Amino acid sequence: MKMEIKICARGELSKEEIQRVDYWMWQTFHEQTSDCEWSTPDWYVFVWVGEELVSHVDIVERTGMVGGCRVRLGGIGGVTTRPEWRGCGFASAAMREAARFMCDDLGLDFGLLICGKKMIPFYRKLGWGVVEGPLVFDQPKGKMVSTDVAMVLPCARREWPGGEVDLCGPPW
């Protein structure tokens, strides 16, 4: 079972490919989403086995604020693997490649993701740490406070500033 990982900018995908990915995300996350406005991904990490797309990660590039300091963030979202392919390490491989891409190719300060508590062990194994302090994001009605867990992955030789995390836009 040979896996291939490909990173694509959103602008490189056809309208049909974007619709297919958006539909897959809706199938995977529709029960977990609310009426929240979400960010449009800038990058996609795709994992293929032969002709079949088996796993996926979104990346949003954004400058946010942490404890009053500007930080360049790579927002990780849409981490999913098709049910029949779960447990084979595809999401872990996609996450490792996303981290390498954000840190090495994009030169961002940190990766940041938002997840439920049950996902903390998965992301911890990949080097991500839980962030203390509130996380806020933009919505049409104003700033909202996240009730989920925020996790960070340092990319640069910079310490996480600590304090309130403001995504300065919608969540990913």
CATH of the domain at 138: 3.40.630.30
**Integer angstrom CA distances of residue 151 from 35, 82, 166:** 23, 23, 13
Q: What is the pLDDT of residue 22?
A: 78
Instruction: Return per-residue pLDDT of the chain as tens, 172 residues.
Output: 799 999 999 999 888 888 877 777 777 765 555 678 999 999 999 999 999 999 999 999 999 999 999 999 999 999 999 899 999 999 999 999 999 999 999 999 999 999 999 999 999 999 999 999 899 999 999 999 999 999 999 998 889 999 999 999 999 9
- The answer to whether position 99 is within a domain reads yes
Can you tell me the distance from the alpha carbon of 50 to that of 43, in angstroms, rounded to the nearest whole number? 21
Q: What is the pLDDT of residue 27?
A: 73
- The answer to whether position 172 is within a domain reads no
Q: How far does CA 42 lie from the centroid of its chain?
A: 11
Q: Which domain holds residue 89?
A: 3-166
- Type and span of the H or E element at 143: strand 142-145
Q: What is the pLDDT of residue 107?
A: 97
- The answer to whether position 171 is within a domain reads no
Domain count, the chain: 1
